[in-house]
C-alpha cells in the first residue's frame, strides 16, 4: 500500500529538527510481503524503513559511507531499521522463504493536537538517546512488542486510507496513528538501550527475554525448546546461559513461576482447586499436586485453608 508523497521531505530519523521542532511521522509505504529466491539490487529511500521478519530468514546487505558493505542475517522475531539514504539490498535464499512486514516513513510538521517527536524525546530518555546517536542501520530482537505495535499501526493506516477514499473525515484516526507511531518509537528506543546496556554480556538480554516468554506463556504446555525458539537460541545454549545467570535451569525457573501463580490463585480467588493446574500450564493434576507440595510443603488444599483470604473473590 503506497501513500502519496505530498511534499519533498527528509526522512532521516536523526535530524536535529525532530528534537527541536514539532514534527511527526508521515507514512509512505507499508505492506506484508512473502519473498522466496529473490535478490534485490542496491537502492535507497528518502525515508526510514523498518523490515520485520515474521517467518523464515533473509540477508540484508548494507553499504556503509566508506564504500564497504556489511551483511546482516535476519531471522524470525528480528527487525532492521534502515535510516534514509542508506544503500541496501535484500537477498532471500531459494527454498527458505521469508515473510516480512515493512513500514517506510518520513516526517512532516505535526498538528497541535498530535504528539510531536520532540515532546517525546523530552519525556523519554531512551528516545532522546536514539535520536542523538546516528547509525546507518539498527538490528534488534523483539519480544513481539514491536511486531504487535507495527501490526496495529498498519491496520490503522489502512482503515484511515479507506475512510479517506469514501470522503469521510476522522481526526481521531490521525491522532491514533501518531500515538501508535510514538509507541513504536519508544519500544525501539528501549530495545536499543537494553542491547547497549548488556553489550558486555548479551546473555543477560536473552535470559530476560526467555523469562518474559515464560511469564506470558506459562498457562500453556511449553518446553525448553519452545522457549529457546522464541529467543532464537539453541536449547542447549539457552540452558547453559540461563543456569549461569539464575542458578536455575529454565525448567526449574518455569516451575517456580507456575507455583507462585498457583499460590496467588489459591489465595486470592475461588477458582476450584481441580482447575488450578490448567491455569498454570500443568496438564496432569497429580503432577501439579506433587510439584506444589514439593515447593511449598503443603498440598493445594492445605495451602488454601492455611492462608488468610482476601475479601475479593471471583463470583461463585
Q: What is the CATH number of the domain that holds 123?
A: 2.60.120.10
Structural domain count of the chain: 2
Name the nearest CA neighbour of 232 among 52, 101, 74, 99: 74
- Cβ–Cβ < 8 Å for 282, 258: yes
CATH number at residue 246: 1.10.10.60
Average pLDDT over all residues of the chain: 86
Spatial distance between the Cα atoms of 163 and 214, rounded to a whole number of angstroms: 40
Residues 136-148 have a mean pLDDT of 89
- Cβ–Cβ < 8 Å for 100, 53: yes
Residues 300-307 have a mean pLDDT of 86
Spatial distance between the Cα atoms of 125 and 117, rounded to a whole number of angstroms: 12
- Quick check: 4 pLDDT over 50? no
Same domain, 81 and 159: yes
Q: Give the model's pLDDT for residue 20.
A: 92
- Cβ–Cβ < 8 Å for 248, 271: no
Spatial distance between the Cα atoms of 311 and 258, rounded to a whole number of angstroms: 24
pTM of the entire predicted model: 0.64
Same domain, 76 and 171: yes
Same domain, 65 and 98: yes
Same domain, 184 and 237: no
pLDDT in tens, 162-211: 777 666 544 445 788 899 999 999 999 998 988 776 544 677 878 988 99
Same domain, 245 and 208: yes
pLDDT in tens, 219-264: 998 999 999 988 888 888 899 999 999 999 999 999 999 999 999 9
Q: Which three cell numbers stand for residue 181?
A: 507511531
Decide if 109 is inside a domain. Answer: yes
Same domain, 164 and 140: yes
Q: What is the DSSP string of 90-138?
A: EEE-TT--EEEEEEEEEEEEPPTTSPPHHHHHHH-HHHHHHHTS--SEE
Among candidate residues 144, 170, 197, the one where a domain is terminated: 197
Same domain, 109 and 49: yes
Same domain, 160 and 66: yes
Same domain, 165 and 221: no
Which strand (E) or helix (H) includes residue 201?
A: none
- Quick check: 129 pLDDT over 60? yes
Same domain, 172 and 221: no
pLDDT in tens, 74-97: 999 999 999 999 999 999 999 999
Q: Which residues contact 172 (CB under 8 A, 6 or more apart)?
A: none
Task: Domain of residue 114: give its range.
Answer: 17-197
Same domain, 67 and 171: yes
Q: Which three cell numbers stand for residue 16?
A: 536535529
Strands (E), 178-260: none
Amino acid at each position: 500500500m503506497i501513500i502519496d508523497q505530498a511534499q519533498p521531505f527528509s526522512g532521516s530519523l536523526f535530524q536535529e529538527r525532530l528534537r527541536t521542532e514539532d514534527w511527526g511521522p508521515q507514512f509512505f509505504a507499508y505492506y506484508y510481503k512473502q519473498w522466496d529466491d529473490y535478490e534485490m539490487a542496491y537502492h535507497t529511500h528518502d525515508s526510514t524503513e523498518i523490515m520485520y521478519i515474521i517467518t523464515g530468514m533473509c540477508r540484508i546487505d548494507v553499504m556503509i559511507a566508506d564504500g564497504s558493505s556489511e551483511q546482516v542475517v535476519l531471522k524470525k522475531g528480528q527487525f532492521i531499521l534502515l535510516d534514509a539514504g542508506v544503500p541496501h539490498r535484500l537477498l532471500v535464499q531459494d527454498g527458505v522463504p521469508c515473510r516480512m512486514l515493512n513500514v517506510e516513513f518520513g516526517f512532516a510538521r505535526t498538528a497541535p493536537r498530535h504528539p510531536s517527536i520532540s515532546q517525546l524525546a523530552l519525556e523519554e530518555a531512551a528516545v532522546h538517546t536514539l535520536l542523538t546517536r546516528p547509525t546507518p542501520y539498527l538490528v534488534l530482537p523483539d519480544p513481539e512488542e514491536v511486531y504487535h505495535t507495527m501490526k496495529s499501526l498498519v491496520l490503522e493506516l489502512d482503515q484511515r486510507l479507506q475512510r479517506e477514499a469514501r470522503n469521510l473525515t476522522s481526526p481521531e484516526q490521525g491522532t491514533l496513528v501518531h500515538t501508535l507511531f510514538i509507541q513504536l518509537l519508544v519500544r525501539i528506543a528501549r530495545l536499543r538501550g537494553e542491547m547497549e546496556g548488556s553489550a558486555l554480556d548479551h546473555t543477560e538480554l536473552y535470559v530476560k527475554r526467555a523469562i518474559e516468554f515464560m511469564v506470558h506463556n506459562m498457562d500453556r504446555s511449553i518446553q525448553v525448546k519452545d522457549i529457546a525458539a522464541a529467543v532464537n537460541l539453541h536449547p542447549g545454549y539457552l540452558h547453559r546461559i540461563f543456569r549461569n545467570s539464575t542458578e536455575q535451569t529454565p525448567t526449574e525457573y518455569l516451575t517456580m513461576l507456575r507455583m507462585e501463580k498457583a499460590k496467588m490463585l489459591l489465595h486470592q480467588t475461588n477458582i476450584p482447586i481441580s482447575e488450578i493446574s490448567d491455569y498454570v500450564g500443568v496438564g496432569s493434576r497429580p503432577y501439579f499436586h506433587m510439584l506444589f507440595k514439593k515447593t511449598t510443603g503443603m498440598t493445594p488444599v492445605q495451602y488454601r485453608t492455611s492462608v488468610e483470604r482476601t475479601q475479593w473473590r471471583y463470583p461463585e
